[in-house]
Structure 1
Amino acid sequence: MLKPGMMLGDRYEIIELVGSGGMSEVYKAKDHKLNRYVAVKVLKREFSDDRNFVSKFRVEAQSAAGLSHPNIVNVYDVGEDEGIYYIVMEFVEGITLKEYIMDHGRLSAEQALDFALQIASGIEVAHQNHTIHRDIKPQNIIVSKNGTLKVTDFGIARAATSNTVASNAMGSVHYISPEQARGGYSDEKSDIYSLGITMYEMVTGRVPFEGDNNVTVALKHIQEEMIPPREYYPDIPASLEKVILKCTQKKPERRYLTASALIADLRRVATNPNGDFVVMGTNTSNNAPTVMMSQAELSSIRESAGKKAYDDTDTMTGYEEPGQSVADTGKYQEAPAGEEQPERPRYQEPVRTQKPEGRPEAAVSAGRAVTESSRYQGVDDDFDPDDDDYKYDYGDSDDGDNETGDITDEDVDDIDPKLQKIVMIGGIVAAVIIAMFIMLFIGKAAGWFKFGSNKNTEDKNNGAIEMTVNVVGKKQQDAEKELTDAEIPYEIEKKNDDTIDADIVISQSYEKGDMIPADTKVKIIVSAGKAEVPVPNVVGFEVAQADETIKAAGFQVTHSYEYSADVEKDHVIRQDPSGDQKAAGGSTVTVVVSNGPEMKEAEVPDLRNKTQQEAEAELTNHNLKLGNVTEEYSATVEAGRVISQSTSYGTKVLEGSSVDITISKGPEPTTEATTATKTYTATFSGSISFVGAGDSTNSYNVTVVYVIGDTSRTIASGSISAQNKTLTIPAGSTLTGLPNTGTLQILYNGVPTKPEDVSESVNVQVAEE
């Protein structure tokens, strides 16, 4: 842990510890160069010692430093100081979104929507700059005092996931995407999943999956479907629930493909909360997980066939999320009649023996129906009951009957003749169908039949073909490939769109499953991005006026700062894009603001024993100024020379600073009248020591003299160095019969300037004889 007052990089002064996590500690610090408060995130020692981790950490942090957006915590600097690796960030006063939710409980739909739009806007800019967060969660989102949300820790998750690190360093697993839980490739859609989990927690006050350990929670992300938010709170807008469910689809291709598309739907939720505009992604994978039949379904099948129902006591009690469990019914098991439904605690996994709080009985039933249906439509669109992968071995029944084994002779005797006839006819029909399929296969292989090459089913009456693909939300290149592979005629039309990224398909004139008339092309509308508008020229504007002008033109604005001797402080030096260009509406204009002239530091020189003119010249040479000059009597310093200075020599101050000096007036005159000639005795003591490094090669010839007028008297002399440390003035060294008081002076190699590696301790006492 760093101590208050410690400096990093000779620039950042540590003030106090404000937070600590698995990977790092965060301190409030002061940037002495720009005179502002910053947050400094310092890597913990166990990560600082891993060179591979540190290298990736610095690359990712420098990449994150290129991001600039009102909803992203800006990264100012990345550095290292004696093995301490740190990131300097914008200091934001506030609390994390996690703390906000814990303090306020579930958020209203309006506030959750506002927060989600802010977070998505920050993620959108990061994705546009090819930066993926990989650890979106409420703990990494700061709610500032003015209500602005800022996403932090961009790039750090990637450095962490690239190394084998302690499990507590990776934070909570409650927000991780299925592909990240598997250790697979993660991209922009992984951030969208984590944002969906965050939105779920905002509107319900809980995370969708809980478990005894991280592995359990990760497996639930992979295997189990979450309970829709409206089963807990029916007041959540249906459209907002659909947005959350689309964000949190298990398969990345079923989620929003871009943050821009998510933002577009969130804005639609704000204007049409009960609208049905969210288009759930289609499942294009052939590797969908097997969906197991529930106990209730098996019982229903057996009862309809006159068999003994599966023993209901075999079902698992308690709560199981809808997923790939044989025992999962996908429904709530109500508590026995008369028992009180326990209150569901915050941040706990819902227990299926409880009804969702705040949900009326009718709503619970409707919720069960939705959940049951989604187990086949949402989990695996490729479900085929005839596929061998979906066959089940029910096993032996409780009464020992042989339900799935070989048929015995006794069983044959009990078969009804009518049933035998039905079985015989069914067998013949099945044999004929199988024979037809074999002939069709052989005939096609032998070229007996000629089939068209079009992959669509063509209507023989009018030549229409079926639209078999849905390319909305896909990149133009991918959409064109799908259409070409499906042999569907199409034409592309570009259209500006303020919410959908360029080259993403906005719409198609025929939906999947529609019949396309002969000689008709499907019109594919592709986003050309936001329409470009002129960028206002704000160079020379005061920063507040520049911001107002840019925002009024429909752009966002961000700032960077630099010193300028030509542009007044807090005025715009330049901008990007410049004022003579056009840019997409809503994009960001960066303005560079002047900090005024750069203030450099200077070292204060030693002015002692110099005349006023010499002192002023010395200060000028160091880009400093002579301040106030005062005079006072001195029995030891010659009149007209500097006795002392307001700032000690060797101190570093800003260039242009002033240094005050005090000039000697010589010894204070006496008022006693005397005709006798006065003489004085001067007694000397002390030493001069070499205090430099032991391996220093510096050596000085030292002479201690007492100057009276134009004459000087030598008191002591000798050489000092790293080998000969001290020159001592012999005790009792005295000068008598002096006509006046004088000035003590120490010469080093003949020059009256004390070197930095020398210490002086010489005293003189003057007495009248």
Structure 2
Amino acid sequence: MQDVPHDPLIGSTVDNRYLVLSKVARGGMSTVYLATDIRLNRNIALKILHPHLAMDDAFIERLKREAWSAASLSHPHVVQIHDHGVSTEHAYLVLEYIHGQTLRDLINARGPMTPRQALQLLDPIVEGLAAAHGAGLVHRDVKPENVLLDTNNWVKIGDFGLSRAVTTTTNTAPLMGTVGYIAPELVTGSGGDARSDIYSAGIILYELLTGSQPFEGDVSFAVAMAHVRDEVPRPSAAIPGLPAEMDELVSYMCAKDPDNRPANGSALLEDLRHIRSTLTPAELDSGGAFAEGTGAGFAGQDGAECQLADSEYPTTVLDRGYDHDATSAQASSRSTSADMTTLIPTHTHPTSVLPGGRALYVEEPAEPAPLSKQQKRTEAKALAKSAAIPVKKLGPAHPRRRAAIWITVVAVLAVLLAYAGWFLALGPGALTTVPEVHNKTVAQAQASLHAEGFDKISTTDVYDESVAVGLVVNTDPANGASQRRFLGVTLMVSKGPVMYSVPDLGGKTLADAKVSLVNAHLDVGPVTEAYDAKVPAGTVVSQDPASGLEFRGGTKINLVVSKGPQPIAVPSVVGKTSGDAQAAIKAVGLLAVVAPEQVNSATVPAGAIVAQSPESGELPPGSSITLTVSKGPKMVMVPDVVGKQVGAATAQLKALGFDVQVKNLLGGFFGTVRFQDPQGVNAPEGSTVTLQVI
């Protein structure tokens, strides 16, 4: 049995805050752990990025911006991003922890589903995408593995922000997602937008209806190219009996040309709910591998629990819409309610539209069966008999008392009606338009509101980038809205922009300084280098602005980084005496080292420097220069060449390193050396020997 290697992160604490409990999953970009937020005492999902991404400064910068955007998206069907960070060892995202299963697990367990079940599952997915698209976010990796169902089967979409940061970092961006769900424009590198998410959602719908993907194969590239070349097949070709509307919906969502798809999640959601409301119960329950029996439910867009296999149960009409502030309470009620079996009631039609575009469904009363002639006659006799029976006793009346009572009732009603009319038309209950008070002081805004009849005025402080401190940013309700006077108005008063303190970066490496600025919500400005004899190379020498000052988020901080001590030019000391050479080298801040062995030189006198290493260039302060001292010229015995021919004599002397000067006597007719100088003594190598030739 092979031992499973222990993950060193388990049991450790990341960034002094997140205690890692166990590994959940590992993917191509990150490893996900179950961890505890020590500060808030709650479980979270900790996504640790792989080192090759964590070391990419450009990717980390993009991830930070994408995480900020994704964290601003708060929707019940989107996994919330709580935090992100970059430490010296890890780059990570902190996500809402969803305990449950993925849509992939559900598909694998159930196989093909009915249109009712598939549309109920798709609805919250599209609603989450619609919220993201409305906030300017595109997922780019919509697939069953990124759709989560918690233990109450509430649907949430995960991985917003990370996939987009990766696709803008790598050259292989179009194939970062699972190829089974990738849009054609991402394969061809044409760029993607909200319509790419719509295509992926269409592939998920096809798989929900048929139990398999439209394009499958062992080679990812072949599957990706099938999305480009081939039309997505009709689901009814795989599951006969599916309504034509399902084929049309899949074809609409998976059109090759993005211009032929729904523009975004909101447009698709409207079409999706319209189609679902027009299908008959028989069409909604057609197809599927589990059309009978019971199964686990999931929570859809209106807060109700949906049963994936509910055909043998009666339909229940739900009378409550989704409340964004009551998600937990609804999830609890879903787990205990016995009659919440489906999202779409049988035989219903939308009668009104709730906030957010959701339709309110009610059941229509059944048409009564026509009466037979005998039943009509019996009913007529019963009506005649009841009309003949007196409904009150006859006896003496009290007309004055009744008149007084009626007069009193009428008077009270008149007073009430008059008061109500005054209250709603002229009094505190009258509708009044909220005036424009933007950029006014609180006193000026209160005066304007009092002039319109508003007496209940409260204030709240908000951050604002453009409105000066102390001035009104907006009102609640907004200006131009109609409001009952007694309800009052809240003034939103500017606290100015959110300010962040500049950290002290002196003495930090450039990499650590960048991390500190990111954590402080600031950016790195121009980085310049300067020589500094005291600060190690690569370390921050100074910063501008200085630490402790406060600025808006994203403000650039200029850094000066040390290049280390300034190098020194190597002086040339060849030819100088040894003492003079060492003094010259020491004077510029370098160290002279004399080689232990001296060498002969025909040109440099003894005791002088004949060579140095290095000869030129620049060296750091304190570096060594090696000096070689000359022993002077080499002494060579001059041979006796008198009597030899001048050519032979000259060759012999030159071979020993001498220069030869020839002087002819009497024309040098015989070419024989008659005299030489010097002769038979030691002479410096390279010196001149004079030959006299006759």
Give the TM interval when normalised to the shorter protein.
0.3 to 0.5
Larger-gyration structure (1/2): 2
What TM-score, normalized to structure 2?
Answer: 0.40
Higher helix fraction: Structure 1 or Structure 2? 2
